[in-house]
Structures are given as structure tokens and as C-alpha cells.
Amino acid sequence: MKILYHTLDGCDVPTGNHHLMYAMIDDFLCAGHQVHVIFSRRTDTEPYWPPLLRERGGFSADIVKRKTVGKTKLVRRFIEEFGYALRCIPAWRRNKEADVILIQSTPTAVFNVLFAKWFAKKPIVLSIFDMFPGTAWHTGALRSRFLKGVFERMQRITYRCSDLVTAISEDMKRKAMAAGVPEHKIRVIVNWYDDSAVREVPWEENRFVQAQQMEKEKFYVQYAGNMGYTFDHETWLRVADRLRNQTDIVFQLIGHGNRKDRFEAQAKDMGLTNMVFLPWQPLEMIADVYSACDVCMIPLPEGVIGNSAPGKAPLLMACGRVVISAADEDSAYAQMFNQNGIGVCVPSRDDAGLAEAILQLYHDRAKLNAMGKKAKAFSEQVYARRNNSYKFLEAFDEVKR
């Protein structure tokens, strides 16, 4: 089978989902399939391809140039992504022999889906990581009800023209159904982690720990990833402020995003010396980074769960780390942590609840270690690559029939 895969982001710009993309392509190739990818390129970074994909038999790609536009600049972003979709048309024309098309959902996925349908004319599987415009609306990145309605109508066209839609959680499946996607067209495939590469790295062997000269007696509360419009930096500031006198608790922020500069400036203005900001780390360091913390804190604004889901949670659990989160109380995401004893989830914006959860685990290391072991076992059972990536191949076979 020849799989044609379209994605908005290329290998030159790091994202939290690249490990999924690389692992998925690797599994497709190892299963004996051909994979042709339509990537973007925004920088001159070399080498462009990750080691996993270099000189692989059965792998080929079209690389289309595009520009970088901030995620909060929705109109400019829309125009730029439409231009990128237009420049992808020659690639669609060249790949009519594909058996199935996998398209990564984006705010402008409607153009990619329509162009694929017109020029490639093959069954389409739409993979949703983020329900647009839901997340943008709930985080305040989108404030116009008129534009929200326009984007919702565009997404309904996208869903209708796709033969199958994959969602990354049961919460997202419910949102997709509410957006008009028939249940029989939806398959839930979670954001897995690569169990052949991601595992706990002992402190003494941890490259990130050594590079940052971290102190073992400290208690590290970490966030590593994109600090964009779904990132609730205000709650982070309030929690760090509540715990500023706990000198052994360090809040470690790793990554980049359109809110990072503002976040770092506010922390400095508030005199929060318990916060450390570090740059995005190389993808091959992901297990070292997540293994370096005691807990990870992921506070999410109300309404984000269902429209999105933190892809880093399974990775952290795979490293035996406890996730402390804030999200909608009635979500399957919140219930997963609280009912299975693998983490803590409090209501959105509940900085007091988050601070209390951190303090409890800081004072009770036995409970922290027990929860970490449960989280690791849960992640291996539910989120491991070996239990999930093949589900895309099942979806491809289904739409081909």
C-alpha cells in the first residue's frame, strides 16, 4: 500500500507531536508500505530529516516552502496556510497513485482535504490533534463570534469530505460528534509514545540533569513543551507565587511559544526566583528531560479538553512521573487520573488545588513513587506505540474497502 501523508509542519521546526509522526512513518515502512510525505519547510536547518527517516527504502517526500506566522495572528495565519495549501497542489497531482491519504488536521485543513479530493482522488483519513476553532475560542485566541461561526462551517466541510476521522481521546470524539461528525466515521487513536525509545532515565545517567547541573535534593515541577495559546501561564504564575517560600521546590519551564516571553517577563516582575526557564531540548533528549522532574504540571483552561489533549502526559507516565493537571471536572481526561490513582486533576484555574497537590507529593515521597509506578504501568497498557500505531493501518484498510 502507498500512503500519502500531508502535514502542516516539517522536520525543521520542533513540535511536541514530531515523535508521533516519526514513529508512525517508521511503523508504516516496517510493515512493508510505501510512504510519501508532503512536508513544509520554514528554515534552512540541516540535516532536515531525522536519523529515523534518512535513506529509508520506501520513503519519499515533497518539501514545500512556507513562512512562520504566530498562532495568535489568526487572519495572517489563515492567509499563509491557504498559500501553503495552494503550493501543495503540484504534489497532490504527482501522487495520484497513492492508495490512501492521511491528512493532519489544521485550521485550514479544509483546503488540503478539498485539494486532495480533487487532484489525488483517493480515500482520506483526517487525523485530529486539535479541534479548531474550539481550543482557540476557549483560550481567548479567537474572540470574534462571526469568525468562530465561519471556521466551524469550514470544519464541517472538512469532516464531511473525509472518509474517516481519527480523534485522540474519548473527549474529542464527543466534541467531533457535536460538530456534526457521525459516530460511525470516528476512530479513537490516542497520542501514543514510542515504547522502544521512551523510558525512565536514572538520575545518575541523565544527560539533561548533568547539562543543567540539577540538584537531587530539590523537588522539580516541570513543564516541557509549547507555551502557546493553550498554555495557561497565569495559573503557573499563581501556583509558583503560592509556593515561593518552599525553597526546595523548583518550577522548571522548558520550550518555546508565543506566550513564553510574556510569561518569563511576568515571573521576573513578580520576583519569582523559584522559576527556571530553559530552551527547547533536542528530540533525542525527551526521555532524559521528562525523567528529570518529580512531577509535571499541566494546567488547562476550561473547555480545552475535548478540543485538544496534552500529548506529553503519556510520555511522562512512561517515565514513571506523576502528572498534576487542571481541566474540566467532568472530562474523561480528569477521571483517568483521579480514578486510576495515576495523577491528580483539579478543576481549571484552581491554583490552590494545584499547589496543595504539589505540596502533598513533596511531603509524601512514598505516595509519589507509588503513583509513578501506577502511571508507568497504565501508560504501557494504554499509550504504548505497539498498542496504537497499527490502528492507523486498520483505518486505511477500512477506507480502501
| Helices then strands, each counted (H, E), the chain | 16, 13
Residues 324-371: pLDDT tens digits? 999 999 999 999 999 999 999 999 999 999 999 999 999 999 999 999
pLDDT for 283 beyond 90: no
- Count the neighbouring beta carbons within 10 Å of the beta carbon of residue 373: 12
Residue 341's pLDDT is 95
- Count the neighbouring beta carbons within 10 Å of the beta carbon of residue 30: 11
Longest dimension (CA), the chain: 63
Ordered structural domains, the chain, with CATH: 2-192+385-400 (3.40.50.2000), 203-382 (3.40.50.2000)
Beta-bridge partners for 355: none
Query: Under DSSP, is residue 71 helix (H, G, I), strand (E, B) or coil?
Result: coil
| Full-model pTM | 0.85
In 88-232, which residue ranges form alpha helices assigned H by DSSP? Answer: 89-94, 109-115, 134-139, 145-161, 170-178, 207-212
- Contacts of 7 by beta carbon, 8 Å cutoff, 6+ apart: 21, 37, 38, 39, 40, 104
Range from 19-23, 45-49, 219-223, 253-257 carrying the lowest mean pLDDT: 45-49
Supply 7's cell numbers. 502535514
DSSP string over 85-99: HHHTHHHHHHTTT-S
Residue 303's pLDDT is 87
Which residue from 134, 137, 171 is spatially nearest to 156, judged by alpha carbons? 134
pLDDT for 236 beyond 70: yes
**Beta-carbon-side half-sphere exposure of residue 254 (alpha carbons within 13 Å):** 26
Cα 176 to Cα 170: distance, rounded to the nearest angstrom: 10
Q: Which residue has the higher pLDDT, 74 or 34?
A: 34
Q: Tell me, what DSSP letter sits at residue 120? A: I
Residues 124-142: pLDDT tens digits? 999 998 888 888 888 777 8
Cα 334 to Cα 330: distance, rounded to the nearest angstrom: 7
Report yes or no: 71 and 229 within 8 Å, Cβ to Cβ.
yes
Q: Which residue has the cell 485550514?
A: 108
Burial level of 362, CB count in 10 A (0-12/13-18/19+)? middle
Question: Which phi and psi (to 5°) does residue 60 adopt?
Answer: -150, 170
Amino acid occupying residue 5:
Y
Q: Tell me, what DSSP letter sits at residue 18? A: H
Q: Which residue has the cell 540541516?
A: 46
Confidence of residue 75 (pLDDT cuts 50, 70, 90): confident
Percent of the chain with pLDDT over 70: 98
Confidence of residue 160 (pLDDT cuts 50, 70, 90): very high
Burial level of 114, CB count in 10 A (0-12/13-18/19+)? middle
